[in-house]
Amino acid sequence: MKFGKELASQMVQEWQEAYMDYKNLKKLLKNILRSREQKALPSSVRCGLSKRKSSLYRSFSGLTGRDNCMTRSEDEVILVSQVQPESSGNDVFYQTTFLMPSEDGGEEESRFFKILDEEFNKVLTFYKDRVKDVTMQAVELSKQMDTLIALRIQVYEPWTERNGNHQEVESSNPKPEGKDSVNGGNEEDPAVSILQELGTSSGGASRAASLSYLGHVRINIEPNGPLMKLKRVIKNAANSDLRRVEEKLRWAFIEYYHKLGVLKRYRSLNLSAFSKIMKKYDKITSRSASNSYSQMIDKSYLGSSDEVNNLIGRVEATFVKHFSNGNRRKGVKLLKTRSKIERHRTTFLLGILTGCSVALLVSIIVVIHARGLIRHEGGEQYMNNIFPLYSLFGFIFLHMFMYGINTYLWRLFRVNYPSIFGFKSGTELGFREIFLLASALSVLTLVAVLSNLDMEMDPRTKRFQTITELVPAGLVMETNFQVLLLLSLCPFNIVYRSSRLFLIRCIWRCLFAPLYKVTFSDNFLADQLTSQVQAFRSLQFYICYYGWGDFKRRSNRCLESKAYEILYIVVAIIPFWSRVLQCLRRLFEEKDLKQGLNSLKYLSTVVALVIRTIYDFRRGMFWKIMAASSSAVTTVFNTYWDIVMDWGLLQKKSRNPWLRDKLLISNRAVYLVAIVGNILLRLVWMQLVLDFNDAPFLHRRAMVALVACLEILRRGVWNFFRLENEHFDNFKKYRAFKSSRFPFHHQDENFL
């Protein structure tokens, strides 16, 4: 693999602009080569004439002139000097002077070294800033470890408190298994050793950490439930929160170690890039400038600093000692970033289940055609009672399928979706796993549909067979039981346990939206739920149909119940109301007026949905006008927000007209098609209000299901461009990591 492709594949995408522009510098070298090739013939003629003159006059004068076409010595090619602008403070920049005459080097080589210096200074400045950040974070991690050790002492050695006052610890007993023992018999407090291991200390002085400062620290972790207090004093919650604090701090160390590793690779990749480009320069120009430039790089901060390597070693030592009970092999294994493992059995099972799904679908089509079920007199009864039951699984399958396509495209275009969503490294589901789950659901659903295609009642009992009519109920009960078992009750690390627990936490925070801090994954999941309104209504129909309907005769009176009508509205607005509360929470926390406007957008959708549902039940010209007007307002509002705010498109002064400066897909027509498609799919739902669905070949239930499927397809397209915009927002801020909150908050820094 060529180095340019290797650099592009290994660079951190969010730091892409901070890397050396290897591609552009290669273009400059090609221009230099092209220029030298164009001057090659005149130069050779000129050199030949000078040699001939020298040979003619040598017999008369005895002079042996120097060949002017020879390359100058190394020291005469470039001169690299340090420059310190007044506005830069203590920062030092490097400037290269090209010493060759214009007829030998030309303007191309001078321009090459000018841009090379700009790239090097850019990389150097970025590296200094990142090292400064990780050093400051090391100081904070030191304070966190100080507090954790003091808390451990308080929990496991309460005898150190005498007369109600905390005393400095001089010795300690071994902790229970899995906990790190404090240095027994050592006068120096273990917290001081942490400061020495990380190379930092509070205030620059080593002093024994007194347990008395625990009263000035608060636990900064999320509560177990929405009714618990969000803030608690450490000494009142030490026993219950110690394990959670240790887990949170352990992950903080793992994330910090990962950040150091990425920064180390950033440095090595750029050093290799500068070395490669200078060797190419020497090869093209037949000069020897790489040694001089390499010596400058080695003496610079980028080449000579060793802070990151030292921090990596100290973090490993600290983590092994305090989080893996001294087992270095185990500790280093936990610190290392786990990559996603692709298993062949996943692809094998996916192929089998996909083939079964296709075969079942063909079988259903053949049975429908052979029996003439489309025009059967029981078709109306089937569509009103059975079709809504199975459409629930169709909506879920389609959403999973679209999400699988999204993950494939995000990985193809190198969108860091695991970091954006906050997945633990190596635990995120890939597109194969998602397609596998979707295909398994499709097989179960199609088998149930095939077994329940009977359109005729028993002429003797005037009822349908009980077993076949209970197939949809058994399917949903089995699915719900499996979901409940796997999502909540299964303690084993099987069937993507980490993803299951992550989904549970996101759903829980969506249900209690205003009581928890809102993350991007919470917003994203709540937006997905807003596109599954018909799925929630189908689930409600299940309860009504099998609870109060006569399923043996395929009849129900759900629409005649006032309670059903009210629940029909409430179930539909729950996802939108959750988004309203999330936006209000962010408005009060972040003081961002955009979140207030976003909450108004979802609130307008709630109003339109309520009015439209009332119109479905009561009809009438008044409700039709109200439904059409409210739906039109929220459609325009939502469409504008999708394209401008969520996707970041329609920017007038962007490099790509009416799109945005950076695009993942090079073909701009794709974005224009997406914009037009989003507008059309937003308008589709209004056809239910305006009664454009009176086509004789399509049942109203089928039309509702079709509109719901189109909304899911629109959401799938929205997902891709929404993540793309978030990805480029991380570009602007060089935000390559999800920084987790530390478990402790120090209220009085001066006290520490």
Instruction: Return the C-alpha torsion angle 128, 131, 133, 134, nearest 10.
Output: 180
- Element spanning 746, H or E: strand 744-746
402 has a pLDDT exceeding 90: yes
CA nearest neighbour of 202 among 189, 215, 220: 189
Residue 286 pLDDT level (bands cut at 50, 70, 90): confident
706 has a pLDDT exceeding 60: yes
50 has a pLDDT exceeding 70: no
Q: Which position has the token pair 């009980």?
A: 466
Percent with pLDDT over 90 in the chain = 23
- pLDDT, residue 201, reads 38
Do the beta carbons of residue 144 and residue 221 sit within 8 Å? no
230 has a pLDDT exceeding 70: no
The 10 Å CB-count burial string (b at 16+, else e) for 441-465 is bbbbbbbbbeebebbebeeeeeebe
Q: How far apart are CA 459 and CA 463, in angstroms?
A: 8
The more confident residue out of 277 and 697 is 277
173 has a pLDDT exceeding 50: no
- pLDDT, residue 48, reads 45
* Mean pLDDT of the 84-96 span: 70
The total of other beta-carbon atoms located within 10 Å of residue 129's CB is 11
Residue 49 pLDDT level (bands cut at 50, 70, 90): very low
Q: How far apart are CA 732 and CA 683, in angstroms?
A: 34
261 has a pLDDT exceeding 70: yes
Q: What is the pLDDT of residues 584-611, one digit of tens each?
A: 999 998 888 999 999 999 999 999 988 8
* Side chain identity, residue 187: E
- pLDDT, residue 195, reads 39
- Element spanning 218, H or E: strand 217-219
Do the beta carbons of residue 78 and residue 295 sit within 8 Å? no
Residue 578 pLDDT level (bands cut at 50, 70, 90): very high
* Mean pLDDT of the 335-358 span: 85
Residue 397: CB partners within 8 Å, gap ≥ 6?
A: 438, 441, 442, 445
CA nearest neighbour of 439 among 363, 535, 348: 348
Q: What is the pLDDT of residues 677-693, one digit of tens each?
A: 999 998 886 665 555 55
DSSP-derived secondary structure for 509-571: HHHTGGGS---HHHHHHHHHHHTTHHHHHHHHHHHHHHHHSBTTTTB--GGG-HHHHHHHHHH
Structure tokens at 364: 């259903």
Residue 178 pLDDT level (bands cut at 50, 70, 90): very low
Instruction: Return the C-alpha torsion angle 646, 650, 651, 655, nearest 10.
Output: 110
Q: How many CA atoms lie within 13 A of 387 on its CB side?
A: 17
Which CA distances in Å does 208 have to 114, 160, 341, 412? Answer: 53, 15, 45, 52
> What values do phi and psi take at 393, rounded to 5?
-70, -30
Do the beta carbons of residue 28 and residue 114 sit within 8 Å? no
- pTM across the whole model: 0.79
CA nearest neighbour of 172 among 162, 187, 163, 164: 187
Residue 318 pLDDT level (bands cut at 50, 70, 90): confident
The 10 Å CB-count burial string (b at 16+, else e) for 65-90 is eeeeeeeeeeeebbebeeeeeeeeee
Which range, 7-16, 56-65, 266-275, is most confident?
266-275
204 has a pLDDT exceeding 70: no
Do the beta carbons of residue 432 and residue 347 sit within 8 Å? yes
Do the beta carbons of residue 245 and residue 743 sit within 8 Å? yes
The more confident residue out of 12 and 229 is 12
223 has a pLDDT exceeding 90: no
- pLDDT, residue 67, reads 39
CA nearest neighbour of 221 among 550, 517, 578: 517
CA nearest neighbour of 602 among 545, 688, 531, 541: 531
Alpha helices, DSSP H only, in 157-237?
190-198
| H helix count then E strand count, the chain | 26, 6
Do the beta carbons of residue 521 and residue 436 sit within 8 Å? no
Q: How far apart are CA 541 and CA 387, in angstroms?
A: 11
72 has a pLDDT exceeding 80: no
The more confident residue out of 625 and 222 is 625
Lowest-confidence segment of 272-276, 426-430, 461-465, 490-494 by average pLDDT: 490-494
46 has a pLDDT exceeding 80: no
58 has a pLDDT exceeding 90: no
> What values do phi and psi take at 738, rounded to 5?
-90, 105
Residue 418 pLDDT level (bands cut at 50, 70, 90): confident
Q: How many CA atoms lie within 13 A of 546 on its CB side?
A: 17
476 has a pLDDT exceeding 60: yes
- pLDDT, residue 127, reads 92
* Mean pLDDT of the 610-625 span: 83
Residue 209 pLDDT level (bands cut at 50, 70, 90): very low
Which CA distances in Å does 377 have to 317, 372, 396, 427? Answer: 77, 10, 30, 51
- pLDDT, residue 234, reads 47
Do the beta carbons of residue 322 and residue 146 sit within 8 Å? no
* Mean pLDDT of the 124-149 span: 88
Residue 196 pLDDT level (bands cut at 50, 70, 90): very low
The more confident residue out of 57 and 251 is 251
* Mean pLDDT of the 231-248 span: 61
717 has a pLDDT exceeding 90: yes
- pLDDT, residue 368, reads 86
- pLDDT, residue 481, reads 54
Q: What is the pLDDT of residues 424-449, one digit of tens each?
A: 777 788 899 999 999 999 998 999 88
- pLDDT, residue 245, reads 78
Q: In whole numbers, what is the pLDDT of the chain averaged over residues?
A: 77
- pLDDT, residue 505, reads 85
156 has a pLDDT exceeding 70: no
